[in-house]
Structures are given as structure tokens and as C-alpha cells.
Structure 1
Amino acid sequence: MIGRIAGTLLVKAPPALLVDVGGVGYELEAPMSTFYNLPAVGAPVVLHAHLVVREDAQLLYGFGTEAERALFRQLLKVSGVGAKLALVILSGVAAEELVAIVADGDPARLVRIPGIGRKTAERLILELREPFAKLASAPDSAIAPRADAPGDAAAALEALGYKPTEVRAALRDLPACDSSEDLIRAALKRLMRA
């Protein structure tokens, strides 16, 4: 299994990437959240990888963070969700926001993602609630709350398409929270009212 790719970024044409590793070019697909944080073409890059072996192909997927890869792997376990749809979901919401959506049991927020209908959103929430709770509670979890909750919340909201000025206004004067999840929820409530 290929778990990590470190090399030189040769091509980035969403959702495809080409990374040169010692003269071998690895083709990967990645969610938009990873693309936003990629270096320029020609620069060194490190990606967490997931290999899917099918009867007709071997497909490699790349992720900027361990959290994205962990969530991608959990999404693949949901009935009716393949790699393409999992990438669409991770492109539509940040990793921490997806965890918050599942924890809140709010399918309406998932339905906004292209390709996700009401039934799929409800199935995602139902099938992911327990695995996400286990992932988040693990001591070394990649999706557990981190020390920079305001920074993480701002990045997640910007990844959802909100402008930096809107994000700053939504996060301004919110009560101190231990997790970016709580900040994101509170900020989204403000943004949806605006």
C-alpha cells in the first residue's frame, strides 16, 4: 500500500496531480481542500496517499493532511459512496466541518454539495456518526481539536467559499471555545443569518 508521496509537483490540474518521485511520475487525484494548499509547480510536495485497487485500474488519491485521508477512508465505507463522491464531499466541506455536520445530524448542510441528495446526506450522517466519534476521541486523532481553534475555523470557513472579511466578521467576539468545531458552528450560524 502506498501511504505517502514525497517528490516534486509537476502538474496540478484539478482534480489531477502529477508528482515526480525519483524519476517516477505518480498520478493522483485530490480534493480541492488539498489543491488550495499545494505549492507551485516545480516545488517539493508531501501528500498522504490512499491506493484503490480495482479490477480495471489502480487509482491513487492524495491529501494534504492526515485528517482528510482518514475521513476519505471512512467515506469509502458508506454504502453508495465511491472515491469520486468522497472527493466531491471533501472538496465541498473542510474535514472539521464534515465532522461537525455529522455530529449535528444536519443533512441540509450536506445537500448543498453538488451530487449529494437528501437520502445520501441522511445515509452519510447515519453511517458516519459512530466512526467519526471514535476518530475524534482517539488520543492521537488527526481530526481531534487542535490548539489553534480560531485559525483552523477561519481556514475551514474560507475553504467553504466565504471571503476572509466575512470570516473575520463572523468569528469576531465569539466566546472562547476549545475546538474549532464549536467556532465553525457559531460562525456559520452568523453567516447564514447575514
Structure 2
Amino acid sequence: MISRLTGLLAEKSPPHVLVDCNGVGYEVQVPMSTFYNLPELGARVTLLTQFVVREDAQLLYGFLTAGERASFRELTKISGVGPRIALALLSGLSTDELAQAVAAQDAGRLVKVPGIGKKTAERLLLELKGRLAPALSAPGFSMVSDAQSDILQALLALGYTDKEAQATLKQLPADVSVSDGIKLALKNLAR
């Protein structure tokens, strides 16, 4: 099993990269979260990998962090969720955002990822509950209240991006009601 690659970054073509390890080139598929954090071409890179053998292919998936690889492994254990959907989820959400969505049982955040429908999102939430626990202790993770979750959903429904909505949520008082929180959030976003 190939668990880690260290070599020169020879090619970058999303979602594939080519890592030259002493003259042997490994084609690795990476989530966009990893792709955006890769060094420039020709630089040395280390990727944690997951080797997947199928009937018709042998594929290598790479990640810059152990958290991404662990999340990928948990996602691919779920029936009906293959590496392609797992990569899409990790490209659309950070590992912390995924853990938050699972902890809050927030299917709306998962459905925003291309290729994830309502039924798949609900199955993911059900099957991942309690399995992404290590990500919950990551720095910066905080459990969101029901009111904060409702405020977040309202902002997303109004067309704000997840990052804008999350940043605004952090500025709100912890004990704010849903209606007051939405008003305050909209005032903050209008600035």
C-alpha cells in the first residue's frame, strides 16, 4: 500500500497532480482544498495518500493533512459514497466544516456541494454521526446552537456564501435569538 509520497511536483491539472519520486511519476487525484495549497511546479511536496484498487483501475488519492485523509477514509466507508463523491465533499467543505455540518445534522450545507443530493446528504449525516469525532476537537471548532444553525441557513438561503455567513455568525452574541440574529447578520453583511 502506498501511504505517502514525497517528490517534486511535476504537473498540476485539477484534480490531478503528478509527483516525480526519483524518476517515477505518480498521478494523484487531490481535493481542491489540497490543490490550492500545493507549492509551485518543481517544488518538493509530500502527500499523504490512499491507494484504491478497483476491478478496472488502481487509483491514488492524495492529501496535505492527516485530517483530510481520515475524512476521505470515513466517507468512502459509507455505502454508495465512492472516492469521487468523497473528493467532491472535501473540495466543497473543509474537514472542520464537514464535522460541523455532521454535528449540527445540517443537510443544507452538504447539498450545496455539487453531486450531493438531499438523500445522499441525509445518509451521510446519519452514517457519519459520531465518526468524525477527532475533527470536533480541532482548534477553532465550536458547536453551533440551534439558533445559530437557523441563522446560518437563512443567510445561505439569501445567497450569501458559506464563508461570509460563518464569518458573520462569529460576530453575533452567543445567546441571540433567530430573528434578532438574522437582522444583526444582515446589518454586518451590508457594511
Q: TM-score, normalised by structure 1?
A: 0.74
Matches within 5 A, 1:1-194: 1-133=1-133, 135-136=134-135, 144-146=137-139, 149=140, 170=168, 173=171, 190=185, 194=189
Letter in 2 for 1:6: T
Q: Structure 1: which 5+ residue stretches go unaligned?
A: 137-142, 151-160, 177-185
Determine the C-alpha separation between the residues in 2 that align with 1:110 and 1:50.
23
Determine the C-alpha separation between the residues in 1 that align with 2:70 and 2:79.
17
Q: TM-score, normalised by structure 2?
A: 0.75
The answer for the alignment partner of 1:158 in structure 2 is none
Q: Structure 2: which 5+ residue stretches go unaligned?
A: 142-159, 175-180
Letter in 2 for 1:145: A
Report the RMSD for the aligned CA atoms in angstroms: 2.9
Letter in 1 for 2:128: L
Cα deviation, 1:47-84, whole Å, max 9, x if unaligned, reads 11000011221100000110000000000011110001
Letter in 2 for 1:26: Y
Shift of 1:162: 5.8
Letter in 2 for 1:25: G
| Equivalent residue pairs, number | 162
Cα deviation, 1:62-119, whole Å, max 9, x if unaligned, reads 0011000000000001111000111001001001100000000010111111111100
Match of 1:70, SS state, is helix
Q: What percentage of residue pairs aligned between the two structures are identical?
A: 54
Q: Which is greater in Rg?
A: 2
